[in-house]
């Protein structure tokens, strides 16, 4: 086994005072001792997953008291259509995001072609566009009354042949445009950490780049890709804003209709439970399918020397493909937003606006750090202790992403209020329910754990169990193994997780709306308030700002990961 640069870093990091051998020495802090006690981990992880379990519990509890009146109406008139629409949309979006995301990831991670460096970060940017903003920009451009069809009519007299935007196709395209970056980011991470040896072996056997992709890279990246697609599936199932813009009814539409129009929260939660069960089934299938595989990698040498340098026609196909995706997913909506924002720029770019930017930035940064650390704990715990409680805690913690944000927020609010009432009953002034960020971060943690966990967990697959054994036999204890052995290897996964959480928190709306202190506004809240009143001209500026702020972690991540690579 060759020594990788990563483990060099780990060795440099060794503290000046070497700690004792297998047993915890007297200089070891309580924290370290607790951390190293394997038997405590299931308990620790169960506590970590408690907020999620409470939220899911209050959603599932609705099943005990069925609102048959509302449900039978839904069943008779709406459910068949909505179910069909949901299945179509989820599979369409999953397939499109997977194909586009994986192709782009492989091109930018493994190949070399003009503008590759630019595309490698630029292609992540659409992730920062909230789905409903993309939907509005897209619909505005391509619907009958939009500029594209109007131009066509002025040239040819008719635009009836133009495909209807308000359709399965339209909503799938928009959904894929904002969600492919999840697959792209995670798959790119897989391709980058695959190491050059496998590709070199392929090259020496005379595999062309395309065949090498299908025979070597793709199978080896499978859990990453599936993990990314699973995030896309959950996000699609939970989406309300995008489908509402298209008036495309899905299961989420039924949830909102039951709650807000038929005044039945129980029926809404019952539909949400169905959604939740569907996700559990998908997750179980995914777990089963990966169980038998091993994806560990013995080394992480640079890919730079073994990139496929695309030549001739191929390089231009790559450039055009990346360019087209970038054009539709980023340039087009940005220009649309910019054209709206320009007239109000002078009046809206005021102190308030920079306040929104600052609160968004600090909220997203702190959540990013917090949730990445918690997800790392989950992944580490799942590795050292594979008991049933651990696995249960880990799986449960990642379910929050599948519920529509509003449902999750209200599901979490219920147990918190209950706790609040108890506290008041025993005489504790319980004003902490409002106006502190504690609840807010807890809710973000529940919602976005899946986003952070997936990339970290996958990078853990890169570490063979024998590495842990070796570390232990060298006298490293739990925390030291994590710091010196695991961290250097899962570092990319953590960075990926941080970017995903940052961008997701920035876009997040229902939890922010419900748990924010009085007078606390973020950019996403502004976009929502203005756009829900139809004031898109003024909503455009905060929407653009979300994209610009999202640029910061994306640039940072790409620099970090490419630095290590070249």
Partner 1 sequence: MKRTLRKTKRALIASLAATLAVTVLVGCGKQADDASQQTAGTVAEAKPLIVYSSRAEHLIQPVFDLYTQQTGKQIQFITDKAGVLIERLKQEGESTPADVFITVDAGNLGYAAAEGLLLPLQSPVLEANVPAHLRDEENRWTGLSLRARTIVYSTERVSPEELSTYEALGDEGWEGRLCLRTSKKVYNQSLVAMLIAEHGEEQTQQIVEAWVNNLAVAPLSNDTKEMEAIIAGQCDVGIVNSYYFGRMKVANPDLALALFWPNQNADESSTIGVHVNISGAGVLNHSKQAAAAQAFVEWMASDDAQAIFGGVNQEYPINPAIAVDPEVKSWGDFKASDLPLSRAYELQPAAVKLMDRAGYH
Q: Pattern of binders to partner 1 over 25-64, x per CB under 8 A?
A: ----------------------------------------
Among 2, 3, 26, 261, binds partner 1 (CB under 8 A): 261
Among 11, 37, 80, 260, binds partner 1 (CB under 8 A): 260
Rounded CA-CA distance 27/69 in Å is: 65
Answer yes or no whether residue 472 interacts with partner 1 by CB under 8 A: no
Give the shortest CB-88-to-partner 1 separation in angstroms. 16
Among candidate residues 162, 180, 182, the one with its CA nearest the CA of residue 172? 180
Which residue stretch of 143-151, 203-211, 315-323, 333-341 sits at the interface with partner 1 (rule: CB under 8 A)? 143-151
The answer to whether residues 461 and 296 touch, using CB atoms and an 8 Å cutoff, is: yes
Place of tokens 């009046």: 347
Rounded CA-CA distance 118/123 in Å is: 8
Answer yes or no whether residue 244 interacts with partner 1 by CB under 8 A: yes
Among 112, 144, 197, 385, binds partner 1 (CB under 8 A): 144
Rounded CA-CA distance 255/430 in Å is: 31
Answer yes or no whether residue 147 interacts with partner 1 by CB under 8 A: no
101 or 510, CB closer to partner 1?
510
Among 57, 355, 389, 435, binds partner 1 (CB under 8 A): 435
DSSP H or E segment with residue 564:
helix 536-565
Give the shortest CB-123-to-partner 1 separation in angstroms. 25
CA 353, distance to chain mean position in Å, is 27
Instruction: Mark out the alpha helices in 385-464 (DSSP H runs).
Output: 388-397, 405-425, 437-460
382 or 495, CB closer to partner 1?
495
Give the shortest CB-320-to-partner 1 separation in angstroms. 32
Q: Which of residues 265-304 bind partner 1 (CB under 8 A)?
A: 265
Answer yes or no whether residue 357 interacts with partner 1 by CB under 8 A: no
Answer yes or no whether residue 458 interacts with partner 1 by CB under 8 A: no
Answer yes or no whether residue 424 interacts with partner 1 by CB under 8 A: yes
The answer to whether residues 174 and 134 touch, using CB atoms and an 8 Å cutoff, is: yes
Give the shortest CB-262-to-partner 1 separation in angstroms. 5
- The site for partner 1, by CB under 8 A, has a size of 62
Residues 6+ apart with CB under 8 A from 539: 133, 340, 526, 527, 530, 531
Listed in order, strand segments (DSSP E) in 47-166 are 111-112
150 or 289, CB closer to partner 1?
150
Alpha-carbon dihedral of residues 376, 378, 380, 381, nearest 10 degrees?
A: 160
What the block records as the tokens of 223 is 């859990």
Answer yes or no whether residue 80 interacts with partner 1 by CB under 8 A: no
Reduced to 3 states (helix: H, G, I; strand: E, B; else coil), residue 112 is strand
What the block records as the tokens of 498 is 């941080």
3-state secondary structure 295-315: CCCCCCCCCHHHCEECCHHHH
Which residue stretch of 186-194, 202-210, 250-258, 393-401 sits at the interface with partner 1 (rule: CB under 8 A)? 250-258
Which residue stretch of 25-33, 108-116, 243-251, 450-458 sits at the interface with partner 1 (rule: CB under 8 A)? 243-251
Among 211, 362, 465, 474, binds partner 1 (CB under 8 A): 362
Cα→Cα distances 452→111, 138, 208, 361, 398, Å? 27, 29, 35, 18, 9
Give the shortest CB-331-to-partner 1 separation in angstroms. 23
The residues with which 309 forms a beta bridge, in sequence order, are 112
214 or 422, CB closer to partner 1?
422
Burial class of residue 445 in the structure, from the number of CB atoms within 10 Å of its CB (0-12 exposed, 13-18 middle, 19+ buried)? buried
Residues 6+ apart with CB under 8 A from 418: none
CB atoms under 10 Å from CB of 7, counted, come to 18
Give the shortest CB-505-to-partner 1 separation in angstroms. 13
Give the shortest CB-406-to-partner 1 separation in angstroms. 6
265 or 470, CB closer to partner 1?
265
Answer yes or no whether residue 392 interacts with partner 1 by CB under 8 A: no
- Strands 308-309 vs 111-112: parallel, antiparallel or unpaired: parallel
Answer yes or no whether residue 422 interacts with partner 1 by CB under 8 A: no
Which residue stretch of 42-50, 174-182, 313-321, 402-410 sits at the interface with partner 1 (rule: CB under 8 A)? 402-410
CA 42, distance to chain mean position in Å, is 25
40 or 265, CB closer to partner 1?
265
Place of tokens 């539909």: 271
46 or 552, CB closer to partner 1?
552
Residues that bind partner 1 (CB under 8 A): 9, 73, 77-78, 139, 143-145, 149-150, 166, 244-247, 249, 253, 256-257, 259-263, 265, 362, 365-366, 369, 406, 409-410, 413-414, 417, 420-421, 424, 429-438, 510, 513-514, 516-519, 521, 525, 529-530, 532-534
């Amino acid at each position: 086994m060759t020594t990788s640069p990563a483990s060099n870093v780990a060795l440099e990091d060794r503290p000046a005072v070497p700690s004792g051998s297998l047993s915890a020495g007297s200089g070891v802090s309580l924290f370290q001792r607790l951390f190293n006690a394997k038997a405590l981990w299931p308990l620790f992880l169960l506590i970590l997953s408690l907020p999620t379990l409470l939220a899911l519990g209050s959603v599932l509890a609705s099943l005990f008291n069925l609102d048959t009146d509302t449900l039978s109406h839904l069943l008779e008139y709406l459910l068949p259509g909505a179910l069909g629409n949901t299945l179509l949309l989820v599979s369409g979006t999953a397939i499109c995001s997977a194909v586009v995301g994986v192709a782009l990831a492989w091109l930018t991670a493994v190949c070399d072609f003009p503008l590759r460096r630019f595309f490698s970060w630029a292609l992540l940017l659409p992730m920062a566009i909230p789905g409903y903003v993309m939907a509005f920009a897209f619909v505005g451009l391509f619907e009958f009354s939009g500029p594209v069809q109007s131009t066509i009519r002025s040239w040819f007299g008719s635009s009836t042949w133009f495909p209807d935007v308000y359709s399965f196709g339209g909503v799938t395209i928009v959904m894929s445009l904002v969600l492919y970056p999840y697959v792209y980011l995670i798959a790119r991470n897989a391709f980058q950490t695959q190491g050059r040896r496998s590709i070199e072996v392929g090259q020496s056997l005379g595999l062309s780049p395309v065949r090498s992709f299908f025979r070597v890279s793709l199978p080896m990246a499978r859990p990453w890709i599936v993990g990314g697609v699973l995030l896309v599936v959950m996000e699609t199932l939970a989406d309300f804003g995008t489908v509402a813009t298209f008036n495309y009814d899905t299961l989420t539409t039924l949830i909102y209709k039951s709650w807000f129009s038929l005044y039945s929260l129980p029926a809404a939660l019952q539909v949400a439970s169905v959604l939740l069960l569907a996700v559990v089934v998908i997750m179980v299938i995914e777990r089963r399918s990966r169980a038998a595989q091993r994806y560990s990698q013995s080394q992480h040498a640079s890919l730079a020397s073994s990139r496929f340098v695309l030549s001739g026609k191929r390089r231009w196909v790559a450039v055009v493909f990346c360019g087209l995706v970038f054009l539709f997913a980023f340039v087009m909506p940005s220009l649309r937003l910019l054209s709206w924002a320009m007239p109000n720029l002078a009046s809206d770019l005021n102190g308030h606006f920079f306040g929104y930017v600052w609160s968004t930035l600090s909220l997203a940064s702190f959540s990013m750090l917090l949730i990445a650390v918690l997800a790392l704990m989950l992944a580490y715990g799942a590795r050292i202790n594979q008991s049933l409680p651990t696995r249960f805690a880990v799986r449960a913690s990642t379910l929050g992403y599948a519920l529509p944000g509003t449902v999750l927020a209200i599901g979490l609010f219920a147990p918190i209020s209950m706790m609040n009432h108890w506290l008041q009953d025993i005489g504790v002034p319980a004003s902490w329910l409002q106006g502190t960020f504690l609840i807010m971060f807890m809710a973000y943690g529940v919602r976005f754990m899946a986003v952070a966990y997936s990339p970290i967990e996958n990078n853990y697959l890169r570490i063979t169990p024998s590495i842990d054994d070796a570390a232990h036999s060298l006298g490293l204890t739990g925390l030291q193994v994590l710091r010196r052995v695991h961290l250097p290897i899962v570092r990319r996964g953590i960075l990926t997780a941080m970017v995903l959480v940052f961008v997701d928190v920035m876009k997040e709306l229902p939890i922010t709306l419900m748990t924010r202190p009085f007078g606390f506004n973020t950019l996403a809240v502004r976009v929502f308030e203005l756009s829900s009143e139809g004031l898109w001209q003024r909503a455009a500026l905060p929407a653009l700002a979300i994209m610009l702020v999202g640029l910061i972690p994306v640039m940072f991540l790409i620099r970090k990961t490419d630095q290590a690579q070249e």
